[in-house]
Chain A
Amino acid sequence: MTPSCDVIDQPFKGNVQDTTSTLQQRNVLIEDFTGHRCKNCPKASKAIEALVDAYGSRIIGLAIHAGPGNFTNTNTDYPADFTTPEGKAIQNFFGTNFLPVGMVNRENWTASGNGHWSAYTNWPTLSSEAIDSTLNIALEASASVNSGNLEVSAKGFPQMGLLHDLNIAVLIKESNIVSPQLMPDDTRDSNYVHMNVLRDYVTDTWGESFGTSPMLPGDTLSGNYTIAWNSDWVQSNAAVVVYVFNPTNYRILQVIEIPVN
């Protein structure tokens, strides 16, 4: 064609996962707004699976069942209520009313814009860019259930000078939940396996203060968080997600996922 047209004969790239580095790198939280009566939503879930296959644990998916009632409400065919007040609050604040849609590390948020929203088809590109970006703060955490309470301990290690405050948010998600889902071909899959379903926030939905500006490499930030464990959640299928973010623009600087012991 012309200099302004790229004709691609071999579309596929090779393996993209970097297995050489042992240092913590910037991870990616994909908040996938979904619903069990949203027929295109399984495609978004598959997109996360593909990214996890490619990048391993550096991709952390979170399925937030929130949005229009015709996609998320229960009825006799779709009896499980996966919605949460926290998910609804996040959906309302960031302002969308269609599914599936998502945010990748909550990048590019503005009060009146839509730059923070992305279609699942754009998650590979956005994840790749986030993964290549610089890590500002490293995180460590542990989680265990003791006497009916989930106790989470988290530590943060600034990797560079941070001249803004930091908030930390801790949440619980659960996978391998078998429950009906409307599929892209308009059929109902009664044995659909729901992954990464947001169950609850251990902290407030908008986090808690974790560090005050300025923070420097060598500083250690820490916090402990507790919530009553809901016995309906299957502990072996559950995980805790910890992320730190800039409270002025909600940009997530680092996120990790840890098992519940």
Chain B
Amino acid sequence: MNRLFRRLLTLLLLPGAAIAQDSYGGQLHGNFQLDGQWYLRDEGIDPTGEFYPDERFLGQGYANFVYTDGDFSGGLRYENYQNVMLGFPEGYRGEGITYRYLQFKQDNLDVTVGSFYEQFGSGMVFRSYEERGLGYDNAMDGVRVKANLAKGVYLKGVLGRQRFYFEKSPGLLRGVDAEINLSERWHVLDSLGLRWTIGASYMSKYQRANDPFLVLPENVAAGGVRSQLMKGPWVLNTEFAYKANDPSADNGYIYKDGNGFIANLSYSKNGLGVIAGMKRIDNMSFRSDRNGSTIDMLVNYLSPTTEVHTYALPALYQYATQINGEEGIQLEANYRFKRKSKLGGKYGMLVSINYSAVQSIDKDYVATSNDTLRTLQGYYSDPMERGTIPYFHDLNFKISKKVNSSFKYNLTYLNLHYNRSVLEDGLGDEPMLSNPENIKTMDADVIVLETLFKVKSKHYLRNEFQLLSTQDDRGSMAMALIEYSIAPHWFFSVQDIYNYGNPDPDQKLHYPLASVVYTEGTSRFQLSYGRQQRGIFCVGGVCRVVPPSNGVSFSLTTSF
């Protein structure tokens, strides 16, 4: 422990840590990012000026410092928001050290005190993580212990509270997760070509309650079991989770319990890949503050069963996981035609098809007048019955082909159905079932052609042409993008989205954007100017609303 103590001292004297590297063999690493935007008043995209910030210029950034020395590490992150940029959660106000931790490994134990991220299974019971692009960070502050109890037996325990911007959530989290790799323990499985891992997790939150009307559960628990079975090209993942009564702002303070089930089967061999997945979740909103909303203080993570698109136009209509209930399937198949085959040509060709569909779950609502036992169950749901409200579907085909040594293209077609009432307005199933004629949807066909030319050594030209054709919402749009990069330093980009089909003649607008990027070593500087249209930005089924803006923005990132 003396050595550990000396390392601790070294970390506390971080400015001298680099000097101490020779003495203790430790290393200090870090990264830094600064973003800013000077906003310009643009009456075209924001006629009333409701999104035009009073500050005119908004900037935010962060820096991470991590010191490691053998089995010991420690670090911190400083964040600043002066003030938070448009589209990020308003809760980020001010500046300070938001993440700091010390971690050491000893005697098959891995101990972290302070801030940490962790996940049990797929996250249906617990996932603490950061997604900087979303402004999402539910880091734990407390203690985490991981132990390798025996060969193939792993145990994790966490205790702490989640980050809530510059504060902590009011709820306390206590959880354990156990995982057993059966193949490591019993080699007979290994000899049969089976790799089988099973796990179980449990998470309980405590939040004080003092509601004048309701007896609220102060302790709410959730648990889950999971399995991963692999044999040859086959992989089967399944997980089931259950959550006890957890009245919350999300579910309208009903006392119904929640459950979720996900299963994925995949096959991959000889250039053929197939994935089939299904998910059903029922009342699985789980936050460390029962009054939380949007992306605040989520304890669990419900992975999406839809494909995440990165192209700009289909990305305007991304699916966001509906934590109060949804069921969906996803089927994906891709095949790589071999080189020098009839369809593969000289360099081969990748073809893929993906279909995903998500809809409501069956809900038999209990009218207040019929709730004679006054149990506030809210609704009953039969898992064998299908819900009737389509939330989303996406059918897409892709072809990716390298034609010759200097030309490659990707061609994508998508057919989208997007329930705007659910995914934009946050409307619940009950009002939609009552007034189905008021449901707002968006149906679109999208075509994307992406080409990449190698102009000469270290010079590349990338183009995108996108067309989103719809009669709904903002109408049809077309986009063209040209990027020219000179490796390894320069990158130039010009793009324009034209909303030519907008039903409002005043909103048939162009959204031009020009960028230049300079990279030197691990540092990158980007300068952009142009318009950004309103939309929804999603990562992994978690989304935030992005308001329209116009202006000059910059971004500086570096690491050491």
Question: Taking beta carbons and an 8 Å cutoff, which residues of A are in contact with B?
Answer: 1-13, 16, 39, 50-51, 54-55, 68-70, 73, 92, 95-98, 111-115, 118-119, 121-122, 124-125, 127-129, 132, 184-187
Contact = CB atoms under 8 A, between A and B. Distances in A.
Given A4-B221, A7-B244, A97-B90, 14 more contacts: A1-B221, A9-B375, A10-B374, A11-B214, A11-B376, A54-B213, A113-B94, A121-B248, A121-B290, A124-B214, A125-B210, A125-B211, A185-B435, A187-B438
A227 B244 CA distance: 55
B419 to A, nearest CB: 13
A188 to B, nearest CB: 12
Interface of B: 48-51, 54, 90-91, 93-96, 164-167, 174, 202, 204, 206, 209-221, 244-245, 247-249, 253, 255, 290-293, 374-376, 421, 425, 427, 431, 434-435, 438
B212 A127 contact: yes
Contact of A6 (B48, B174, B220, B435): B220
Contacts of B202: 2
B374 A186 contact: no
B244 to A, nearest CB: 5
A10 B95 contact: no
Contacts of A73: 48, 50
Contacts of B435: 185
Nearest to A6: B217
B293 A119 contact: yes
Contacts of A95: 90, 93
Counting from the closest, the 5 A-B pairs by CB-CB distance are A112-B94, A69-B50, A5-B221, A4-B204, A6-B217
B255 A11 contact: yes
Contact of A8 (B90, B215, B290): B215
A97 B292 CA distance: 16
Nearest to B81: A112
A213 B116 CA distance: 45
Contacts of B174: 4
A184 B215 CA distance: 26
Contacts of B244: 1, 5-7
Contact of A50 (B209, B213, B218, B425): B213
B211 A68 contact: no
Nearest to A129: B210
Contact of B247 (A11, A16, A111): A11
A132 B216 CA distance: 18
A121 B249 contact: yes
A113 B291 contact: no
Given A70-B50, A186-B421, A124 B221 contact: no
B213 A69 contact: no
Contact of B431 (A3, A119, A128, A185): A185
A229 B434 CA distance: 46
A80 to B, nearest CB: 17
A11 B425 contact: no
A119 B234 CA distance: 47
Contacts of A69: 48-50
A12 B93 contact: no
A185 B426 CA distance: 10
Given A11-B375, A97-B90, A129-B210, A122 B48 contact: no
A113 B93 contact: yes
Contacts of B51: 68
Contacts of A70: 48, 50
A8 B245 contact: yes
B114 to A, nearest CB: 20
Contacts of B90: 95-98
Contact of B291 (A51, A111, A118): A118
A186 B219 contact: no
Contacts of A184: 431
Contacts of B293: 119
A153 B261 CA distance: 64
A7 B243 CA distance: 11
A73 to B, nearest CB: 6
Given A4-B221, A122-B291, A186 B427 contact: yes
